Structure 1
């Protein structure tokens, strides 16, 4: 697998093969970030400085799980406890890939349709965001109510 840095410098733009590599890389980063059991309503990874990272399990099947992942900013950092970015991510454990399936918590389909360009941009963003979160020290612990 090529490194994510190589994926970002492709001169030809998004490709199906490159997208699959992003999905694989996203899966590896998410496995480091998320707990193994996947049970629980919501989990929080707080840091002394910066926004807490929140994850909520939205759907679970034998081979997939769909999560809502966002930073929760405090009222003094953003108006009304803003949550940004706010992504729905599906992990396919049998295929060992993960992809962005939409923005927002529930009920919003892919805003730009399932085009290669939209998937490329959304998953490249997720890849960079996950690297940032892991670099900041985020990890999810036990569930909260």
Structure 2
């Protein structure tokens, strides 16, 4: 008998809190910054990661995170993540991919859209990996001055 997927909420909340802290490290001037680009290079691979603040409210903000490979590969489009920041809870959560509707916390498997049961958890982990890559191997394309 197949077991139903049950999300690990403690793990998901921890991932979202860590991602929020990473974003705040990358955007020390968050209140006055509208976008930031990082050039990330590992070995011979180069990419530009862009974080754009789409909406700002008192308790939440919405970011668009995208990247472009320097090789300009046209056969595989890089995903663009839409990330919601919850400032009071200090959490950052991937809410959807660009051009797709909002993600559900759990998907039945199999399903028509080929989502994994833990797709949202995987995307939040993927966001964390990209943010870590920017922190560890990225450099600013413009100087940043925080107040």
User: Structure 1 length normalisation: TM-score?
Assistant: 0.71
Tell me: CA distance 1:51–1:66, structure 2 relative to 1, closer, same or farther (3 Å): same
RMSD: 2.9
Higher strand share: 2
Unaligned runs of 5+ in 2: 107-116
Per the TM alignment, residue 119 of structure 1 is displaced from its structure 2 partner at its CA by: 2.0
| Bigger-Rg structure (1/2) | 2
Q: Does 1:94 align with 2:88?
A: yes
SS in 2 for 1:84: coil
Map of 1:8 onto structure 2: none
Q: Distance in 1 between matches of 2:87 and 2:78?
A: 26
Tell me: CA distance 1:62–1:114, structure 2 relative to 1, closer, same or farther (3 Å): same
SS in 2 for 1:131: helix
4+ long deviations beyond 6 Å: none
Tell me: CA distance 1:83–1:32, structure 2 relative to 1, closer, same or farther (3 Å): farther
1:18-97 counterparts in 2 under 5 A?
A: 18-47=11-40, 50-74=46-70, 76-79=71-74, 84-97=78-91
Of residues 93, 102, 107, the one that matches 1:110 is 102
Of residues 13, 16, 19, the one that matches 2:9 is 16
Per the TM alignment, residue 140 of structure 1 is displaced from its structure 2 partner at its CA by: 7.5
Count of aligned positions: 127
Higher helix share: 1
User: Structure 2 length normalisation: TM-score?
Assistant: 0.70
